[in-house]
């Protein structure tokens, strides 16, 4: 069973069964994207070339699909047009990526970059709605690292493959990071920061311990579905961390579980739950949520929001909650 991210990318995906277009985004698709954005900005081809310090022929080659558009060049063009790279990536309907018979997409493929962008979201500063997921820029190096780690795994990636994905030189990568490990650590920090503010906000919505547990589980499960790329490297690549970073990131993950455990203990004290072991229950529910990347992939009929609601119901059943249906109905009608 698969789920579909609630993102601008979902509307542009091919239908299931392989009946829609299966080719990856081509230079022609990227060129059409650039040309449309330039015309909407009322800018001539020559002026755009001047602003990004290339020849008019180079811009023409991009717009006519005769050359690959790298992420770095896309950033330059977007800035010259008063836009951002995510805006350009998300403001166009792209064909579906290649299917299994075609092999994996190239890391510089715009469709892959757009797919990854659709899984990113607002950081904690000033954020208030934990259910809302919006694309944000994390920079070409982290974006490329995320895409490559998802595609090849951490140990299959190199600084050069990340540089190629970002459209940069290897030396250019080292202006942004110290190593491949540094990229992994920064991605995991980004993931845990994003998860932590969401679970705090979710728990604060509850007025009883049972409500807080339901909201925490819903939030955690939805996060691991919506942020599938981040969730995958959290699940698969913690083992690749050096000892100090491993201990720190695991401490952040343990804090999430202990937050849930404390709410379960409060629910037992209030008489809402009859579980005999709040600690074991918290571990089981947390594992249920964090293991989502083992089976979840974007592209199916179940949204991350629906996954969150279903997991919340399963968690309440595990805790032997009294009147779970009424509890969930009250939360969802209020939300």
Q: How many CB atoms lie within 10 A of CB 131?
A: 17
Q: In the numeric block, which tokens belong to residue 254? A: 């343990």
Q: In this prediction, what percent of the chain has a pLDDT beyond 70? A: 75
Whether pLDDT at 84 is above 80? no
**What is the residue-averaged pLDDT of the chain?**
79
What is the secondary structure of 168-234 as a DSSP string? --HHHHTTT-S-HHHHHHHHHHHHHHHHHHHHHHHHHH-SSHHHHHHHHHHHHHHHHHHTHHHHHHH
DSSP string, 215-254: HHHHHHHHHHHHTHHHHHHHHHSGGGS-HHHHHHHHHHHH
Task: Give the span between the Cα atoms of 52 and 45, in whole angstroms.
Answer: 11
Ordered alpha helix ranges (H), the chain: 27-40, 45-51, 56-63, 71-80, 85-90, 110-117, 140-152, 159-166, 170-173, 180-205, 209-226, 228-236, 243-270, 278-290, 304-318, 324-334
- pLDDT for the residue numbered 63: 86
| Least-confidence region, from 122-126, 231-235, 273-277 | 122-126
Residue 206 phi, psi (nearest 5)? -80, 140
Per-residue pLDDT band at 114 (split at 50, 70, 90): low
Q: What is the pLDDT of residue 134?
A: 73
List the structure tokens of 183: 């990229």
Question: pLDDT for 23-73, tens place per residue?
Answer: 234 556 678 878 888 888 889 999 999 999 888 888 888 888 887 777 677
- Asked whether the beta carbons of 213 and 263 are under 8 A apart, the reply is yes
pLDDT digits (tens, 9 = 90+) for 211-261: 999 999 999 999 999 888 899 999 999 999 999 999 999 999 999 999 999
Q: Which CATH class is domain 195-334?
A: mainly alpha
Q: Tell me the C-alpha distance between 241 and 239, whole Å.
A: 6
Q: Each residue of 299-317: pLDDT tens digit? A: 678 899 999 999 999 999 9
Q: Are 194 and 133 in contact (CB under 8 A)?
A: no
CB 186 within 8 A of CB 241: no
């Amino acid at each position: 069973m698969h789920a579909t991210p609630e993102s601008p990318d979902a509307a542009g995906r091919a239908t299931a069964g392989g009946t829609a277009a299966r080719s990856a985004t081509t230079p022609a698709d990227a060129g059409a994207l650039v040309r449309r954005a330039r015309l909407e900005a009322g800018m001539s081809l020559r002026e755009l070339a001047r602003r990004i310090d290339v020849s008019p022929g180079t811009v023409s080659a991009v717009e006519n699909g005769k050359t690959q558009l790298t992420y770095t060049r896309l950033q330059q063009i977007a800035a010259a047009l008063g836009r951002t790279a995510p805006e350009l990536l998300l403001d166009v309907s792209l064909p579906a990526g290649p299917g299994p018979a075609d092999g994996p997409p190239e890391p510089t493929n715009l469709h892959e970059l757009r797919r990854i962008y659709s899984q990113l979201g607002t950081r904690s500063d000033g954020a208030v709605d934990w259910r809302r997921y919006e694309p944000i820029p994390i920079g070409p190096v982290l974006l490329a690292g995320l895409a490559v780690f998802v595609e090849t795994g951490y140990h299959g990636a190199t600084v050069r493959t990340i540089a190629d994905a970002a459209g940069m030189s290897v030396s250019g990568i080292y202006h942004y990071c110290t190593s491949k490990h540094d990229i992994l650590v920064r991605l995991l920090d980004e993931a845990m920061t994003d998860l932590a503010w969401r679970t705090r906000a979710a728990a604060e919505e509850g007025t009883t311990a049972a409500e807080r547990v339901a909201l925490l589980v819903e939030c955690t499960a939805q996060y691991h579905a919506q942020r599938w790329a981040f969730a995958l490297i959290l699940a698969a690549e913690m083992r690749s961390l050096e000892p100090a970073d491993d201990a720190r990131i695991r401490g952040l993950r343990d804090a999430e579980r202990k937050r849930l455990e404390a709410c379960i203990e409060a629910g037992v004290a209030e008489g809402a739950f009859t579980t005999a072991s709040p600690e074991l229950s918290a571990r089981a529910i947390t594992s249920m949520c964090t293991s989502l990347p083992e089976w979840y992939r974007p592209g199916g009929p179940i949204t991350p929001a629906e996954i969150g609601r279903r997991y919340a119901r399963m968690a309440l059943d595990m805790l032997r909650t009294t009147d779970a249906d009424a509890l969930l109905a009250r939360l969802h009608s209020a939300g």
